[in-house]
């Protein structure tokens, strides 16, 4: 027993000693100190960096293991981890990174002293203009290297192949601060332990065998090669990295989906988006072979076909993104076939910008976890199902730009998590009340514009939401300005164009507008003035549209304070006074529209400071003086309209420095001098109007320098974004207002000037012209013989000039010509005939040309006289006849008819001479007969003319 007790005592003592030793070792481990050499290496590394945000302020003292971003081995004290990624930015924002909290400067060689370093993260910093240091290859224990979005530039060093233990490598790039490239990925094949490879944004266009190198990485689980300029590889290659779970090849130059993807059965994430060269049917093989699929994205490709029914069998599927393709068929197909477990899983369903049609199915209400639903930009019709209000998880609903009709169900107001509601550009109608918004407390974006909806809420209504962006345009909101807007304090975009408001602009509007960037309350009947301190009240304004109202007063110079202003449109008001003269080069104004007001004065040269100006429209005002020549130096200018003012002097010398110009309208002014030859350098010009001025001289022969009128594919400028755009065009004999469609129009109007000389043959090269008006000038010479080459011409007016010669026969080839005016010239010869000229067969087309003949004129051309009764032409009445000895009975009859008629006529006249009552009755009867004969003659002539036309 004693020995047994001693044994127990000894055992307990051993346990006690062991615990003491372990506790002491634990204390020592926790108090382990930083290795001096490594501390010095870190301090040298710090000194090479720039740290404007003082992120490394903790890097002082002896204990480097406690410094921000540094982790050490608890036993040895060696630095294992150096994590200096930018803490001020989330991953989702990396493509538009902020400069906040970024480190910069030089990365010094001292880091090589961290021989036990396993984890190095320098992501989302700013080492721009620097290459990836080659000495990183000496950190042979590295398992994790993240240099993404850090601004490194140049070729990726091949020496990185020494990092044989590397498991995670991220070299993703954003093109903003730097641009990494690699011409050969052979170095990567040596990284046999690699499981995560992310190189999005790295230029790999010259890496011919990019797939072969990556195919050596058999352990790879995540591969992201977005925007790498990848080219197609052989379709027969097979992938060795069969454990791959995440694959992203978006934004490359692929023209087909690589077949090796079809055999990767463990894929959970497939992103092949933004490869617009990828064509073909829906890749059903991917769906069939990947039962683990959770995300599938082929948006912004060029695929076609119908939605696959077997997609409903993928029980783990959560994200389906098929937007911007050519998929078609009925949208209801997603509710067909077996559903399995899919409906409870889907979170994102995006098929925007395709060709889906059919009714919106009620089955969408079964996708209970759906957070994002985008069916916009299709041809879906029918009504909005009321059970969409049961999608309690829904955050964004996009049904805009379809053919939906009917009312918006009140159940939409129950979507308490909804942030975005977009139903604009449909055929919806009916009344929206407070019930439609009852529980939308999280709503930040609302767009119900371009429908026939009526917003009918109480004047005391307080919405449950605080929206950021709201668009009610083309709905009925008025006649009073909605008071509930006064409760909205977070508005950044307020769009209420054409909402039937007839009211004064309330003062409180500008009090809630300190955050507004977009303000559009155009095309209403608003009264009031633009605040003189608008630049102070709305300091963030970028778009200001108040056109089409009854605003009065002057234009405040405080607009010059708005450095972010890009568009200002105050046209069609009653504004008076002068334009501000304080514009600065620091401003970003692109659209400057003040047309149709009562403004006056000269154009300030300060406008020339707006180097980004694209649209300048000051039409129909009272501006005077000379247009500053410096405006012709604005290289971004595309739309220039100063028509209907009182400008004088010569035309601005547009040309060498203003080659972006696509439209010039300077009609109805008092310009003098000739057309500057520099105009011929305007290769992208589509619309030119200099009508109703005092311009003289000849038309430049180089007018075929308007290359867009020669070939419209050279350039296209869509001006539909310029709301309130109106251009007066003299075409088809009238003045017509063109709105947004002016960007599709080709026109030259030089009418009502004093131009002389010949009509340049070069006009016939402008084959895209739809309207050509050169009337009311002093042009002479011939009409170009190949005028018929202008196949698109709809209106041609050459009237009131001094043109001579014939009308070219080719003019009958103008298929689309609906208006022609050649009147009051000196033209001669036969008027061309042809089926295409029947629409312009009015005599007035050719009036005032005494030398013209032929239909539709009554003047007959020589050689076209009608034949005589005996079948011979009138000028051949003395043709062959029988000789005098062979008269037959008909000849004797006609020979005696003449004398008999004379005797009878003399007898009748004698009776009228002596018998007064007979004489009066006779002449009354003759008057009636003459009237009837005149009517019959007119009807006969009209019938004869119509018959000739039908025969032609």
Place of tokens 């030793």: 21
> What's the pLDDT score for residue 315?
83
> Among 274-283, 723-732, 866-875, which range has the highest average pLDDT?
274-283
Share of the chain above pLDDT 90, in %: 69
Which SS3 state, helix, strand or coil, does residue 780 take?
Answer: strand
pLDDT, averaged across the chain: 86
Residue 901 has pLDDT above 80, yes or no: no
Are 747 and 729 contacting, i.e. CB atoms less than 8 angstroms apart? Answer: yes
- List, in sequence order, every beta strand (DSSP E) within 204-301: 222-224, 246-248, 269-271, 279-281, 295-297
Phi, psi of 827 (to 5 degrees): -75, 155
Interval 508-524: pLDDT, tens: 888 788 899 999 999 99
Parallel, antiparallel, or unpaired: how do β-strands 104-105 and 49-50 relate? antiparallel
Find, among 335, 321, 352, 324, the residue nearest to 387 by Cα: 335
Burial string for 221-235 (b: 16+ CB within 10 Å, else e) reads bbbbbbbbbbbebee
- Residue 11 pLDDT class (50, 70, 90 cuts): very low
Find, among 797, 850, 855, 856, the residue nearest to 822 by Cα: 797
Which SS3 state, helix, strand or coil, does residue 295 take?
Answer: strand
Q: How far apart (Å, rounded) are the C-alpha atoms in residues 692 and 750?
A: 8
> What's the pLDDT score for residue 866?
74
Q: Is the pTM of this model over 0.85?
A: no
Structure tokens at 850: 């005494």
Place of tokens 């251009």: 727
> What's the pLDDT score for residue 945?
46
Q: What is the number of alpha carbons within 13 Å of residue 778 lying toward its C-beta?
A: 10
Q: How far apart (Å, rounded) are the C-alpha atoms in residues 857 and 844?
A: 9
Please give the average per-residue pLDDT across 128-136, as a whole number. Answer: 92
Q: How far apart (Å, rounded) are the C-alpha atoms in residues 763 and 785?
A: 11
- List, in sequence order, every beta strand (DSSP E) within 351-488: 355-357, 372-374, 381-382, 396-398, 403-406, 420-422, 427-432, 445-447, 452-455, 469-471
Decide which of 761 and 919 is more confident: 761
Find, among 719, 693, 717, 688, the residue nearest to 705 by Cα: 688
- Judge residue 27's burial from the number of C-beta atoms within 10 Å of its C-beta, 0-12 exposed, 13-18 middle, 19 or more buried: exposed
Interval 814-826: pLDDT, tens: 989 999 999 999 9
Interval 833-847: pLDDT, tens: 876 677 777 889 999
Find, among 253, 382, 273, 366, the residue nearest to 325 by Cα: 273
Helix, strand, coil tally for the chain in percent (to 5): 25, 20, 55
Please give the average per-residue pLDDT across 617-623, as a whole number. Answer: 96
- CB within 8 A of 520, min separation 6: which ones? 473, 494, 495, 496, 497, 543, 545, 723
> What's the pLDDT score for residue 170?
98
Interval 360-374: pLDDT, tens: 888 777 788 999 999
Compute CA 929 distance to the chain's CA centroid, rounded to the nearest angstrom. Answer: 72
Interval 719-751: pLDDT, tens: 555 666 777 787 887 877 777 667 778 999 999
Q: How far apart (Å, rounded) are the C-alpha atoms in residues 410 and 431?
A: 10
- CB within 8 A of 356, min separation 6: which ones? 307, 327, 328, 329, 330, 331, 375, 378, 379, 380
- Residue 289 pLDDT class (50, 70, 90 cuts): confident
Structure tokens at 757: 């000389």
Length of the chain, please?
Answer: 952
> What's the pLDDT score for residue 719?
59
Decide which of 539 and 930 is more confident: 539
**Opening angle at CA 662, ends 656 and 666, nearest 5:** 90
Decide which of 931 and 361 is more confident: 361
Structure tokens at 19: 């615990």
> What's the pLDDT score for residue 730?
79
Please give the average per-residue pLDDT across 350-357, as a whole number. Answer: 96
> What's the pLDDT score for residue 882?
40
Q: How far apart (Å, rounded) are the C-alpha atoms in residues 160 and 127?
A: 19
Q: What is the number of alpha carbons within 13 Å of residue 158 lying toward its C-beta?
A: 6
Residue 6 has pLDDT above 80, yes or no: no
Decide which of 419 and 952 is more confident: 419
Q: How far apart (Å, rounded) are the C-alpha atoms in residues 312 and 317?
A: 9
Are 494 and 518 contacting, i.e. CB atoms less than 8 angstroms apart? Answer: yes
Please give the average per-residue pLDDT across 706-719, as a whole number. Answer: 78
Are 106 and 130 contacting, i.e. CB atoms less than 8 angstroms apart? Answer: yes
């Amino acid at each position: 027993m004693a020995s047994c007790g001693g044994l127990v005592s000894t055992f307990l003592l051993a346990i006690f000693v062991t615990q003491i030793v372990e506790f002491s070792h634990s204390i020592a481990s926790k108090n382990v100190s930083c290795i001096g050499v490594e501390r010095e290496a870190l301090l040298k590394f710090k000194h090479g960096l720039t740290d404007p945000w003082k992120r490394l302020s903790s890097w002082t003292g002896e204990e480097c293991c406690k410094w921000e971003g540094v982790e050490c081995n608890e036993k040895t004290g060696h630095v294992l981890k150096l994590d200096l990624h930018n803490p001020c930015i989330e991953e989702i924002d990396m493509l538009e990174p902020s400069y906040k909290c970024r480190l910069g400067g030089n990365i010094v060689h001292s880091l090589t002293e961290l021989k036990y370093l396993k984890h190095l993260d320098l992501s989302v910093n700013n080492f721009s203009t620097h290459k990836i240091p080659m000495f990183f290859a000496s950190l042979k224990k590295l398992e994790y290297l993240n240099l993404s979005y850090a601004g490194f530039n140049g070729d990726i060093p091949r020496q990185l192949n020494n990092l044989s233990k590397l498991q995670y490598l991220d070299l993703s790039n954003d093109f903003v601060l730097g641009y990494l490239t690699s011409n050969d990925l052979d170095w990567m094949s040596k990284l046999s332990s690699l499981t995560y490879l992310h190189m999005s944004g790295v230029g790999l266009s010259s890496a011919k065998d990019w797939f072969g190198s990556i195919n050596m990485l058999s352990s790879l689980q995540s591969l992201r090669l977005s925007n790498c300029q990848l080219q197609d590889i052989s379709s027969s290659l097979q992938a060795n990295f069969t454990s791959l779970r995440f694959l992203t090849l978006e934004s490359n130059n692929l023209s087909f989906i690589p077949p090796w993807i079809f055999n990767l059965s463990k894929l959970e994430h497939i992103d092949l988006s933004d490869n617009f060269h990828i064509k073909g049917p829906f890749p059903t093989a991917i769906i069939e072979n990947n039962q683990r699929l959770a995300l599938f994205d082929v948006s912004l490709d060029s695929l076609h076909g119908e939605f696959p029914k077997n997609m409903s069998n993928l029980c783990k599927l959560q994200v389906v993104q098929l937007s911007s393709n050519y998929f078609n068929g009925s949208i209801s197909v997603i509710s067909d076939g077996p559903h399995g477990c899919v409906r409870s899983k889907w979170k994102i369903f995006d098929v925007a910008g395709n060709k889906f049609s059919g009714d919106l199915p009620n089955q969408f209400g079964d996708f209970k976890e759906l957070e994002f639903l985008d069916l916009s930009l299709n041809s879906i019709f029918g009504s909005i199902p009321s059970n969409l209000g049961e999608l309690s998880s829904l955050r964004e609903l996009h049904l805009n730009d379809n053919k939906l009709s009917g009312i918006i169900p009140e159940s939409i107001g129950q979507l308490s998590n909804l942030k975005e509601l977009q139903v604009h550009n449909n055929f919806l109608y009916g009344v929206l009340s407070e019930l439609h918004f009852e529980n939308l407390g999280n709503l930040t974006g609302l767009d119900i514009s371009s429908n026939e909806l009526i917003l009918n809420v109480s004047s005391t209504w307080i919405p449950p939401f605080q929206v950021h962006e709201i668009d009610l345009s083309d709905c009925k909101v008025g006649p009073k300005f909605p008071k509930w807007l006064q409760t909205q304090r977070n508005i950044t975009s307020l769009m209420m164009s054409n909402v039937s408001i007839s009211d004064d602009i309330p003062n409180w509007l500008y009090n809630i507008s300190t955050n507004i960037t977009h303000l559009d309350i155009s095309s209403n009947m608003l009264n009031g003035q633009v605040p003189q301190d608008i630049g102070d009240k709305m300091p963030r304004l970028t778009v200001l549209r108040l056109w089409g109202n009854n605003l009065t007063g002057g234009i405040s110079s405080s607009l010059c304070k708005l450095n972010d202003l890009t568009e200002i449109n105050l046209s069609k008001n009653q504004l008076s006074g002068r334009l501000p003269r304080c514009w600065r080069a620091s401003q970003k104004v692109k659209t400057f529209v003040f047309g149709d007001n009562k403004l006056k004065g000269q154009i300030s040269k300060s406008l020339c400071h707006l180097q980004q100006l694209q649209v300048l429209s000051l039409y129909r005002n009272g501006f005077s003086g000379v247009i500053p020549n410096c405006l012709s130096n604005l290289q971004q200018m595309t739309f220039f309209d100063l028509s209907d003012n009182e400008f004088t002097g010569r035309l601005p010398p547009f040309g060498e420095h203003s080659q972006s110009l696509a439209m010039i309208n300077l009609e109805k002014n008092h310009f003098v001098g000739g057309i500057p030859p520099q105009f011929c350098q305007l290769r992208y010009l589509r619309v030119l109007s200099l009508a109703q001025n005092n311009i003289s001289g000849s038309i430049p022969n180089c007018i075929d320098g308007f290359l867009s009128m020669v070939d419209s594919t050279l350039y296209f400028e869509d001006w539909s974004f310029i709301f309130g755009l109106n251009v007066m065009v003299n075409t088809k004999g009238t003045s017509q207002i063109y709105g947004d469609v002016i960007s599709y129009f080709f026109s030259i109007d030089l009418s009502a000037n004093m131009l002389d000389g010949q009509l340049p043959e070069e006009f016939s090269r402008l084959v895209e012209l739809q309207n050509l008006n050169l009337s009311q000038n002093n042009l002479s010479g011939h009409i170009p013989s190949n005028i018929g080459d202008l196949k698109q011409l709809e209106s041609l007016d050459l009237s009131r000039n001094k043109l001579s010669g014939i009308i070219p026969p080719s003019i009958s080839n103008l298929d689309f010509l609906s208006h022609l005016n050649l009147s009051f010239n000196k033209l001669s010869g036969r008027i061309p005939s042809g089926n295409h000229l029947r629409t312009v067969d009015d005599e007035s087309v050719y009036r005032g040309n005494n030398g013209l003949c032929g239909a539709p004129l009554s003047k007959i051309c020589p050689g076209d006289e009608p034949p005589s009764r005996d079948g011979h032409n009138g000028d051949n009445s003395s043709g062959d006849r029988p000789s005098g000895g062979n008269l037959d009975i008909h000849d004797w009859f006609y020979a005696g008819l003449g004398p008999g008629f004379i005797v009878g006529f003399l007898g009748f006249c004698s009776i009228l001479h002596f018998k007064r009552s007979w004489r009066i009755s006779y002449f009354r009867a003759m008057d009636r007969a003459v009237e009837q004969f005149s009517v019959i003659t007119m009807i006969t002539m009209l019938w004869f003319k119509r018959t000739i036309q039908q025969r032609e």
